[in-house]
Amino acid sequence: MRNITVESLDKTPVENQAVELVERKGVGHPDSICDAIMEEVSVSLCREYIKTFGRVVHHNIDKGLLVAGKTTPRIGGGKVEEPMRLVFGDRAIYEFKGKKVPVGEIAIATAQEWLRKNLRFVDPMAHIVFQNEIKPGSPELTDIFDREVIGANDTSAAVGYAPLTETERIVLATERYLNSPEFKRAFPESGEDIKVMGYRRYRELILTVAMAFVDRFVPSEKAYFARKAEIKAMIEQFVANEKRNFDKVTVDLNTLDVEGRGEDGMYLTVLGTSAEGGDCGQVGRGNKVNGVIALNRPMSTEAAAGKNPIAHVGKIYTFLTHFIADDIYQHVPGIAEVYVWLCSQIGQPIDKPLIASAQLVLKPGVHLEDVRKPVEEVIENELANIYQFTERLTHGEFSVW
């Protein structure tokens, strides 16, 4: 028997609240870089562990840190003076029953491949120093993987919700559009380090966009501000084409810029990311697993990126709560908003959490007893199939950022 609780909330859905704030950090943001790379390292280790040991063994690569380098951006093209430093941290199995896995080499090779694919102007051989601080795991946590039923490796709680609001969707879509291959071909000076902040007041939305410009494509201050105006117009057109339910949308781009101040008045970078010289990054400080940082919502405190997908409930439940919430919203009529909570108990089977709770904001005229049983059935079904879900996590099917 699973401990499942379903209750209704007397709460105004976020979509109908007066004020909403939502943030999205793009692929070139230092925090997104850390999350994405450490997750890729976990997926690569899972693949090698299965190949070498026949199964996934203990690892957590969720303590990554990107230390900013030093650059001198200049109109027409600046230079890199000091490289960035990427530190891989936490624990992993290097040897098991006489067989070895080169954890450090896998981590570095995986990071280099990700950087080549995702950051056009970052040369992983020249612009980043890699530091492996991944140590062997503690005996007790390692032993969890040798047990007949793998239990949770932590006592941890997570929360997920559905559906996304209009503001959450447009913030997410805007960043993805600005970092799409099509946009980069049209505006090569647009760096990958993009942050979108959405502020909604009633039905009016302000999108504040920070976009790093790549200096080699900026021949003059006049050209910078001309292209900035073109990009701003493209964002406005994109938002209008999305046909979201807003009365008015205002787009502000690089609001720190000041014409007439030369390079000091422009957001210029050499490599397209602030990590090159202005901002460090860390796992867990970026987007949540549904792609946004939504300040009106309850949020899990665990960093999902890099954690092992077999026993680390900080990862599994963080993803699963969102999936269960979406499943409930999609298949149980009469629900305006749903929040799902899961809490594990260390050592206990992950399909039997200490508590599974659904909090429902019901549509007018709908009563809790109308939906209680189908909601319980959805939760029961998702938990019963949790090991198929962790298999998908093992193969990296879901984005952590």
Going by the DSSP 8-state scheme, the letter that residue 349 receives in this structure is B
Residue 312 has, within 13 A of its CA and on its CB side, a CA count of: 24
Reference 207, options 17, 399, 21, 14; nearest CA is 21
Residue range 355-371: mean pLDDT, rounded: 97
117-129 pLDDT per residue, tens: 999 999 999 999 9
Residues 202, 114: Cα–Cα separation, whole Å = 40
List, in order of start, the domains of the chain with CATH numbers.
Answer: 15-26+163-282 (3.30.300.340)
pLDDT recorded at residue 151: 81
**pLDDT at residue 329 above 90?**
yes
The percentage of residues in the chain with a pLDDT greater than 90, rounded to a whole number, is: 91
Instruction: Say if residue 181 is preceded by a cis peptide, omega within 30 of 0.
Output: no
pLDDT recorded at residue 243: 77
pLDDT recorded at residue 154: 87
Confidence of residue 259 (pLDDT cuts 50, 70, 90): very high
